[in-house]
Amino acid sequence: MTPTMTLERPASAWFRLDRHDVRGQVPAQIRAMLQNGILDRVFRDALVPNFLFPQIADSEPWQGGLGDTKTFTRKGLLTPATTPVTGSDPSPSSYSIEQWSVIMDQFAGSMDTNMLMSALALANKFLADMATLGIQAGQSINQVARNKLYKAYAGGRTWCTTAGTSDTSILVQSTNGFETVLVNGVPTPVSGANPLNVTIAGTANTVVGVNTSTGALTLGTARTDTAGDYVLAANAPVTIRPTGNSAFDLTSSNTATFAQFRAGVARLRKMNVPTLPGGYYAAHIDPDTEAQLFSDADFKQALQGRVDSPIYRDLSIGRFGGIDWVRNIEAPTVLGGSAGSLVVHRPIILGDGALMSAPLEGQGSLLSGTGVEDVPEIRSVNAAPGVDVEVIVRPPQDRLQQVLATTWSWVGDYGVPSDSGTGDAALFKRGVVLEHA
């Protein structure tokens, strides 16, 4: 008789997630990946915006420690000499200067990955964490650049948010553009000795102090405040809106038009602002601005003769009206209108040199010569156009040698030249912010 053969099932084959409480021992955010059914082995990408603001910056790497400040200087022009010299020596001339500073700051993000849990999850969680960190790095630095740009170009113009009795304090929607005044080209905090000339609801006044945490301006002359009173610095950048003196005066009917963008281009050309490579300025517009423009007859007529942009490719609507029209969902909005609930869109038109990037030089070689430079993996990754971040993979520090730490780091700052030494009294002449409902 043929003996009966018994096939032994390997012990590992009996391990089932529904029989052994592995799921209950892992973090909640990972537990969903340890499902009993079929798990897709590939993590799908989330909705990712385009990182466009760092792309316009001129890069100038520099060396320094955290917290160090570097000051840049730009000279102005000499006044044209149109009077003949009548037999005497010409009078000596001098030019003005402007300065702006950057601060060596560090921006970073990190994630811990348990490699055991990554293996149990089937899909490679480590690679997914790396990709997600890269998106965070790109979006973070993009918004750092955007915030510096808009703080300058949308500053110096605000409105009173709270009515008050006669005093020297006024609460405003934003203190951007009121914190410093140029003294011999050097940004200096406003004070009684260095006041900033302003106009409030058409009446001249001065700002002698700023409280950024409360949004209060200290005035040189007492007044009675009314909600909606506009406050305009004497050196405020030019902004364009359909009506009124600030975003408080806008209503839902004040939508974007091609005429506003033509006015912005005219402003840049009158200030001799150079175009970006290719001979055009760049207008960064969000989807709402784009939708409103397609309802404007002038815009649609100009669009018919457009020239395709080789620079921004799929992000560009085209080239016409002296503008590269760029879709940028990260263009910020602000709440305005008399009720304070109107979403005000702020597209911006930019020329060359409007933003400067100042990253730390040699970020990836900080451990060189220490003898431990090969212990963590450090490599440079392009997280956004014009932005290289360092990605550090630290070996496990736990006793089981399972938890990897992955971190990105970018050290540097963005600066915005003011061009105070040329043109009119307005600062920040290389861009124009438009406001519409």
- Residue in 8, 39, 111 with CA at minimum distance from that of residue 405: 111
pLDDT of residue 80: 80
* Cα separation, 35 vs 300, whole angstroms: 52
Beta strands in 212-328 (DSSP E): 216-225, 230-233, 239-240, 281-285, 316-320, 323-327
pLDDT of residue 156: 97
* Cα separation, 202 vs 204, whole angstroms: 7
Tell me the H-state helices in 94-184.
115-120, 125-153
> CB-hemisphere CA count at 13 Å for 81?
9
Burial state string for 316-325 with b = 16 or more CB within 10 A and e = fewer than 16: bbbbbbbbbb
pLDDT of residue 18: 47
* Cα separation, 171 vs 228, whole angstroms: 11
pLDDT of residue 15: 43
pLDDT of residue 37: 45
3-state secondary structure of 149: helix
pLDDT of residue 230: 97
CA-to-CA separations, 91 to 28, 76, 85, 275, 348, in angstroms, rounded: 78, 18, 9, 35, 42
Residue 368 in tokens: 């060189």
Q: What is the pLDDT of residues 66-124, one digit of tens each?
A: 778 888 887 777 778 878 887 778 878 777 777 778 888 999 999 988 887 766 655 57
- Residue in 286, 282, 295, 299 with CA at minimum distance from that of residue 327: 286
What proportion of the chain, given as a percentage, has pLDDT over 90? 49
Q: Cα(first)–Cα(last) distance of the chain, in Å?
A: 92
pLDDT of residue 312: 63
Low-confidence ranges of the chain (pLDDT < 70): 1-47, 118-123, 310-315, 364, 366-367, 369-375
pLDDT of residue 20: 47
pLDDT of residue 39: 41
Residue 228 in tokens: 């909606």
Q: pTM value?
A: 0.82
pLDDT of residue 69: 83
Phi and psi at 111, nearest 5°, equal: -140, 145
Q: What is the pLDDT of residues 300-321, one digit of tens each?
A: 888 887 777 766 666 678 889 9
pLDDT of residue 172: 98
For 78, residues 6+ apart whose C-beta sits below 8 A from its C-beta are 93, 94, 95
Q: What is the dihedral of CA 376, 384, 435, 170, to 10 degrees?
A: 20
* Cα separation, 78 vs 270, whole angstroms: 18
